[in-house]
């Protein structure tokens, strides 16, 4: 019998807690994260399943100057687009993360999420400069000392994005086991043409998303924002 089959989860509550305490952290402390810790998290997460074990993920870890210089490049591009929206055509997204047309109930959840977050931060409708500044925080990794970028070989199919989702969740749960928090970020997709050459990705690679990793700032108001979830009864059908 293999180790995986015979392993007993001695503390199921801790597994549940790691999953349930994960949230999109938007303020981090400058406390560094060791390379060994990051490597451990990635090794654990690499056990995520993938169709026929293709393991489609490729990870770029940004720290120090590599992180800071990317931040400055993308923040400059983000500001330029804000000042001149016509420049947005120069930064096409790698793939359609969001739908072309929003419909209920998804648009309702999206609006609730956005206005709940902005409301907590004291940003009201129409305050575009403040909204831009908050969105800008994405491109500073919310001050996290570690930024992660994830790419996928363009030759792979859409199923590999399903595999990738399981890998990303595994990273976030493994990070919680180390006392760390994360924020997965699709915002970087708009600036993939800046990100990919910076990290040394080849032309065959597509940016999937970015992620902030570090120690959460427990004193930050924004980190009290935790999104609601639907009751199991609302998204589950029992077929017997």
The domain in which residue 43 lies consists of 18-94+139-226
Does residue 34 lie in a domain region?
A: yes
Q: Is the dihedral of CA 44, 66, 97, 159 positive or negative?
A: negative
Query: Does position 1 have pLDDT exceeding 60, yes or no?
Result: no
Query: Does position 87 have pLDDT exceeding 50, yes or no?
Result: yes
Does residue 150 lie in a domain region?
A: yes
Does residue 2 lie in a domain region?
A: no
Does residue 119 lie in a domain region?
A: no
Cβ-Cβ contacts under 8 Å for 166 (sequence gap 6 or more): 48, 49, 50
Per-residue pLDDT band for 115 (boundaries 50, 70, 90) equals very high
Q: What is the CATH number of the domain that holds 218?
A: 3.40.109.10
What pTM was computed for the model?
Answer: 0.95
What is the tally of structural domains in the chain?
A: 1
CA distances, 178 to each of 14, 33, 46, 187, 227 (Å): 12, 10, 16, 26, 23
**Over the stretch 59-80, which tens digit does the pLDDT of each residue have?**
999 999 999 999 999 999 999 9
Does residue 236 lie in a domain region?
A: no
């Amino acid at each position: 019998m293999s180790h995986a089959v015979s392993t007993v989860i001695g503390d199921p509550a801790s597994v549940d807690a790691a999953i349930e305490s994960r949230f999109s952290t938007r303020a981090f402390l400058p406390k560094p994260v060791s390379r060994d810790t990051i490597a451990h998290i990635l090794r654990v997460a690499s056990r995520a399943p993938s169709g026929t074990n293709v393991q489609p993920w490729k990870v770029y870890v940004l720290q120090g100057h590599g992180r800071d210089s990317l931040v400055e490049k993308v923040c400059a591009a983000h500001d330029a687009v804000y000042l001149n929206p016509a420049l947005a055509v120069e930064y096409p997204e790698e793939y359609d993360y969001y739908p072309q047309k929003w419909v209920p109930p998804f648009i309702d959840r999206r609006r609730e999420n956005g206005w709940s977050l902005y409301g907590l931060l004291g940003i009201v409708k129409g305050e575009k400069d403040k909204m831009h500044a908050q969105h800008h925080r994405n491109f500073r990794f919310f001050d996290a000392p570690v930024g992660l970028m994830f790419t996928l070989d363009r030759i792979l199919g859409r199923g590999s994005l399903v595999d990738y989702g399981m890998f990303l969740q595994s990273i976030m749960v493994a990070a919680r086991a180390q006392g760390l928090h994360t924020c997965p970020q699709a915002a970087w997709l708009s600036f993939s043409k800046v990100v990919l050459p910076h990290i040394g990705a080849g032309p065959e690679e597509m940016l999937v998303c970015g992620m902030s990793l570090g120690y959460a700032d427990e004193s930050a108001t924004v980190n009290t924002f935790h999104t609601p979830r639907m009751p199991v009864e609302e998204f589950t059908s029992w077929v017997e």
